[in-house]
Structure 1
Amino acid sequence: MTTHAYGRDAAGAGAPATDLYRAVWRWHFYGGLMVLPFLILLAVTGGAYLFRDEVDGLVHRSLKQVELRRTAELPPARLIDAALAAQPGTALKITTPATPTASAEVTVRTAAGERLAVYVDPYDARVLGTLPDRGTVMWVVRRLHSLAEFGPIANGVIEIVGGWTLLLVGTGVWLWWPRGRTGGQSGGVVSVRGTPRRRLFWRDLHAVTGAFAGLFIVFLAATGMPWSVFWGATVNEWANGSNYGYPAGLYVDVPMSDEHLAHAAGGATWSLEQARLPESVGTTAGGPVGVDAAVAAFDRLGVARGYTVALPSGAKGVYSASVYPDDLSRQRVVHLDQYSGKPLIDLSYADYGPAAKAMEWGINVHMGQEFGLANQLLMLAVCLAIVALSVSAAVMWWKRRPRGSLGIPPAPSDRRVMRGLLAIMAAVGLLFPLVGASLVVMLALDLVLTRARPRRAFA
């Protein structure tokens, strides 16, 4: 996503102005034109979401925080009853307090079909307040970050932006590469020259920032792909084999339902979003063991506090506990038979396949969770670098564009130089089909613009 020296503005007398250079520059420009506005949105919302716990804890403090007591927490059934008394309907799940000063969260579906999160003091069952399910400030930011707020079609843009970001970084590094420089010439390579009033300053800022942040931007783009509509769903199925997230042999002889974990529990980790829930197989003679016994069983199994318990849906439903803390090794999903209270499936991060482990680790770092505050600050720095790159690219273009023109970089005089570049872009398009579709559109646009203005200089 960097740009160094172009044509007559090249730093140094030997700066390249070859057809290949022009071709790379032209497509670097096209990539920026397509995705920079989305990159700014993703960087701003992603940078904010890194501090989701801190922000939500502050904004929703009256709902999420309670006074520490010396008394024991009340049984989960009491908390669910209190939530239903305040908001009549059907209880879907309960999230246990992660710390002694955290509230419990009960998700209720009302008669009108609305899903509400009811916050309850675990020590006295006092209802603290209600929000729409996933209605916290940071959940809104997360939906904006994934573009899910704008519908499934807009959500597909994530894949296009991710793929083009990889191309931007690759072409940008190629443009930045200090060809023919001597040891003392570092301007625009590792240092920024000029003042903000000059275009040279913005060009160098763009180049140097991209050079230092490029690898991290590639990491963010690649680890953000699992949330894309087409590529993410396809790779999810490939990485996790039959029945998606469950390793082969883990659920032998356990009847499986058509219900998926992401729908039942909500907020499932990526590798398990499509994992199917088992069915209860115990005898119904004595009736269900109840949520209190189920939570006690989860505690005995050592599930990390703060886990969510999805309540059984129907006679064959199960109690499903899931927790995804910052520490990947403590990720856990346990399904209990609602009649016998015995575990049907007990799955942790250690049970994932190699591909799922790698992707989950990448996602954890992407979200600023793996290495504590240092992880958050590093990812925030990368987000700020993306904003700086986007802004500097816009300013640089505005200062250089010819009056009355879009300012597209000149096409190479020999169109054959495009073959190698197009081959690389086609490979990216095959890997990411939605990116490939956008490449076809941009190629058609390039042909139209080239014929309309065959040799218009960008100067």
Structure 2
Amino acid sequence: MSILLHGSAPAYGARAALRISRDAVYRAVWRWHFYAGLLCLPFLISLSATGALYLFKDEINGSLFAYRTQVVPQAVPALGPDRLIFNAVQAVPDAAPLSYSDPATPDSSAVVTLASGVRRILVYLDPYTGDVLDRVARDAEFMNVVRGLHSLAYLGAYANAVIEVVAGFAVILVVTGAYLWWPRGRGGVVSVRGTPRHRVWWRDLHAVTGLVAGAGLLFLALTGLPWSIWWGQQLRTWSNAAGLGQPAALWSNRPVSTVPLRERLSEPGWTLQDAPVPRSGAAPAAGTIGIDEAAAILVRLGMPRGYELALPVGADGVYAASVYPHDVTRQRVIALDQYTGAPLLDVHFADLGPVGRAIQYGIGIHKGEHWGRANQLAMLAFCLATILLAVTAGTMWWKRRPAGGLGVPPWPRDRRVALTVTALVAVLGALFPLTGLAILAMLGLDLAAQRVRKRPRA
């Protein structure tokens, strides 16, 4: 018997040590999961709510705002853009025309964008009669407001950096959450125990929702990052320099301006945001071709309906047009010489580099545009699940927090485990530098708080 006891003692000790080690890792991961959630939750709720609304942009515009976005199709030909722009300017006499948006369908209105000082005004017109249906400041248009809230644009130019930090922490949330969820011989993995009165019910609901929605949250975070202020810009710059984004050959040996396409067109696509606007040649005695002829040339070139056509600015300006349909592969950008009508730039989706195409695909799916209703509903489900994750996390924390305390999960006593897990989290942060800086700031605050707690009281 003594031999058996002596033989089993090392195995028992090894199992106990392994269990203690796993518990230490779990506590360290849980602490970082808590930190990431503490920072992300309010923003994830806001991003998910506004994103869910934007998924149904067309449906909302076609119902709540049908009085200005929908018209009755008629047998007579639609008026040319020149006449519609004239009518729009008559409705806002102190404004100058900037662009014309072609009706995407026979029952859609045309939209003319006007500039009145720094203000931008959208004028909706019936393309068959030329009647003005409505006019609204671009910043006050409902979906532009939703988009501004989604990107935090109303909080200033650098508020978008917060979105980048949150997206990075969302990746950390998913990775650490997957580890915390991983089955360890306990319940609540794919089922919910107890009742809403118990914390375990909220914990299990959070875990099961995370199991279903984790991949969606990770996808939304990664496909939203290309629009971020630093990471997204660096990705675009790198991919363009490597020939994987903009088709640089299309700009070689051509006169271009210093104005990027994003300043002339509202939707040039992510890849072409920074592409320079070409310049028209010398002005002939005959003058410009006019916007009606520019629109006719676009039709002859096979431009899909629903395009935006920006008017030339200055003697060397061009007619710049872009279309951003739900079918990502039909995206296109064209620039015409304002005097000859010759295409100075004609970029199809297939002309983009592999990184540019992948990003455009990701953005299209992110916005629920690529696979019709199925895409919309899938993204809506992920948005709602993310809100549920945030609510269950907040409730779970509230039920476990001590009176008068924050309820931060304690670090494990084994410092090596804490340092190892923190180093792994830092590696994830290094992929997203702004998130990495936030991690360093949180570590600094954590260390400072620990020192304050350890000081002897007088």
TM-score calculated relative to the size of structure 1: 0.92
Structure 1 pair 335–423 and aligned structure 2 pair: CA distance change class (3 A): same
Whether the 8 Å contact between 1:31 and 1:168 is mirrored in structure 2 is yes
Residue 449 of structure 1 deviates from its aligned partner by 2.9
Whether the 8 Å contact between 2:268 and 2:322 is mirrored in structure 1 is yes
Q: Determine the structure 2 residue equivalent to 1:353.
A: 353
CA distance in 1, matches of 2:194, 2:103: 55
Structure 1 pair 307–243 and aligned structure 2 pair: CA distance change class (3 A): farther
Alignment map for 1:391-430 (pairs within 5 Å): 391-430=391-430
Q: Say which is worse superposed, 70-79 or 258-267, in terms of deviation.
A: 258-267
Whether the 8 Å contact between 2:174 and 2:218 is mirrored in structure 1 is yes
Whether the 8 Å contact between 2:244 and 2:353 is mirrored in structure 1 is no
Residue 288 of structure 1 deviates from its aligned partner by 0.4
What are the superposed Cα offsets for residues 19-73 of structure 1, whole Å, 9 maximum, x if unpaired?
A: 2211111111111111111101011111111001111222221111111111000
Structure 1 pair 323–135 and aligned structure 2 pair: CA distance change class (3 A): farther
CA distance in 2, matches of 1:262, 1:243: 20
Structure 1 pair 410–451 and aligned structure 2 pair: CA distance change class (3 A): same
Residue 283 of structure 1 deviates from its aligned partner by 4.2
CA distance in 1, matches of 2:311, 2:274: 18
Aligned AA (1:116): I
- Residues 1:153 and 2:162 are matched in the alignment: no
**Structure 1 unaligned residues grouped into runs of 5+:** 1-13, 455-459
Alignment map for 1:285-364 (pairs within 5 Å): 285-364=285-364
CA distance in 1, matches of 2:324, 2:244: 18
- Residues 1:66 and 2:71 are matched in the alignment: yes
Whether the 8 Å contact between 1:90 and 1:109 is mirrored in structure 2 is yes
Question: Bigger radius of gyration, 1 or 2?
Answer: 2
Q: Say which is worse superposed, 322-331 or 443-452, in terms of deviation.
A: 443-452
Whether the 8 Å contact between 1:92 and 1:310 is mirrored in structure 2 is yes
TM-score calculated relative to the size of structure 2: 0.92
Q: Determine the structure 2 residue equivalent to 1:257.
A: 257
CA distance in 2, matches of 1:134, 1:117: 9
**Structure 2 unaligned residues grouped into runs of 5+:** 1-18
Matched residue SS, 1:106 = strand
Whether the 8 Å contact between 2:335 and 2:345 is mirrored in structure 1 is yes
Alignment map for 1:58-457 (pairs within 5 Å): 58-88=63-93, 89-110=95-116, 112-179=117-184, 181=185, 187-241=187-241, 246-453=246-453
CA distance in 2, matches of 1:121, 1:197: 57
CA distance in 1, matches of 2:435, 2:395: 26
Structure 1 pair 237–366 and aligned structure 2 pair: CA distance change class (3 A): same
How many correspondences in the alignment?
435
Whether the 8 Å contact between 1:411 and 1:450 is mirrored in structure 2 is no
Residue 176 of structure 1 deviates from its aligned partner by 0.9
Superposed CA RMSD in Å reads: 1.7
Aligned AA (1:95): S
Aligned AA (1:94): Y
Query: What is the identity percentage for the equivalent residue pairs of Structure 1 and Structure 2?
Result: 50
Residue 134 of structure 1 deviates from its aligned partner by 4.7
Matched residue SS, 1:118 = strand
Whether the 8 Å contact between 2:124 and 2:132 is mirrored in structure 1 is yes
What are the superposed Cα offsets for residues 377-429 of structure 1, whole Å, 9 maximum, x if unpaired?
A: 00111111111110001110111111121111111112121232222222222
Matched residue SS, 2:334 = strand
Aligned AA (1:63): R
Higher helix share: 2
CA distance in 2, matches of 1:113, 1:28: 44
Q: Determine the structure 1 residue equivalent to 2:35.
A: 30
Aligned AA (1:343): P
CA distance in 1, matches of 2:357, 2:214: 24
